[in-house]
């Protein structure tokens, strides 16, 4: 049972490039979400999903897109990377308002 | 707007000393609060939920609605408790949308 798996673990992008951060869970959880963590700040919610085909914005959605075509996968797309998007990104999944299970994080640097 | 505040960035104690990690929240509804912990090189994981009112690894946390606080306590700190601790508030009800505090690094000295 892998839980929540994020790929890649590390990534360096040039300004303006696009990329997709992958997130997969094998627990059949309905709810999935993406957070970013910046120095001196708590995790902030970017986007979330309550099930396949349903997504919505969190606190800091600008510059990111998501889709949820299956229960298992919830990719996060950076459309045109900016240095302000340098951060550690965490994917999480949960079943209703219970424990959230987190991935190991993706450390993204935009130069 | 909802908010979670952890006033201490770093808390350093000696082994065997009591620990209290502070958490205050601001939320207009009925709060659902959690403590998450991240040990070195491990992923973020749940430590406590206020609803369960249980003790995990010797830690307890009581919701005080009057003071809008959810402090994490342990009577005798152990070196293996050294980690980053985050207080979190679920403001999304069943959708489990979390807002986190900035975290407190607990360092337990031998």
Give the closest-approach CA distance of B99 to chain A in angstroms. 7
Per-residue pLDDT reduced to its tens digit, A13-43: 999 999 999 999 999 999 999 999 998 888 9
Chain B residue with the nearest C-alpha to that of A103: B43
Given a cut of 70, is residue A1 above it in pLDDT?
no
In the 3-class helix/strand/coil scheme, how is A7-63 assigned residue by residue? Answer: ECCEEEECCCCCEEEEEEECCCCCEEEEEEECCCCCCEEEEEEEECCEEEECCCCCC
Q: Contact, A73 vs A53, CB < 8 A?
A: no
- State how far the Cα of B89 lies from the Cα of A100, in Å rounded to an integer: 12
CA distance A41 to B104: 11
Interchain proximity B100–A44, CB inside 8 Å: yes
The rounded mean pLDDT for chain A is 94
- What would the pLDDT profile of A46-84 be if each residue is shown by its tens digit? 999 999 999 999 999 999 999 999 999 999 999 999 999
pLDDT class of A98 with cuts at 50, 70, 90: confident
- Phi/psi for B4 (5° steps) reads -125, 130
């Amino acid at each position: 049972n892998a839980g929540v798996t994020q790929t890649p673990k590390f990534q360096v992008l040039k300004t303006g490039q696009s990329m997709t951060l992958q997130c997969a869970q094998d627990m059949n959880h309905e709810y999935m979400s993406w957070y970013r963590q910046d120095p001196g700040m708590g995790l902030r919610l970017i986007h979330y999903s309550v099930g396949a085909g349903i997504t919505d914005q969190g606190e800091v959605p600008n510059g990111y897109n998501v889709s949820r075509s299956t229960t298992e996968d919830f990719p996060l797309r950076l459309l045109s990377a900016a240095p302000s998007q340098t951060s550690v990104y965490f994917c999480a999944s949960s079943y209703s308002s219970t424990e959230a299970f987190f991935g190991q994080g993706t450390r993204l640097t935009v130069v | 707007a909802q908010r979670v505040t952890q006033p201490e960035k770093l808390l350093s104690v000696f082994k065997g000393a009591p620990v209290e990690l502070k958490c205050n929240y601001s939320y207009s509804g009925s709060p659902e609060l959690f403590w998450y912990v991240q040990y070195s090189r491990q992923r973020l994981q749940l430590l406590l939920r206020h609803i369960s009112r249980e003790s995990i690894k010797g830690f307890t946390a009581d919701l005080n609605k009057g003071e809008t606080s959810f402090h994490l306590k342990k009577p005798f700190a152990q070196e293996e408790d050294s980690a980053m601790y985050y207080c979190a508030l679920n403001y999304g009800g069943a959708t489990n949308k979390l807002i986190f505090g900035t975290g407190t690094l607990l360092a337990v000295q031998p």
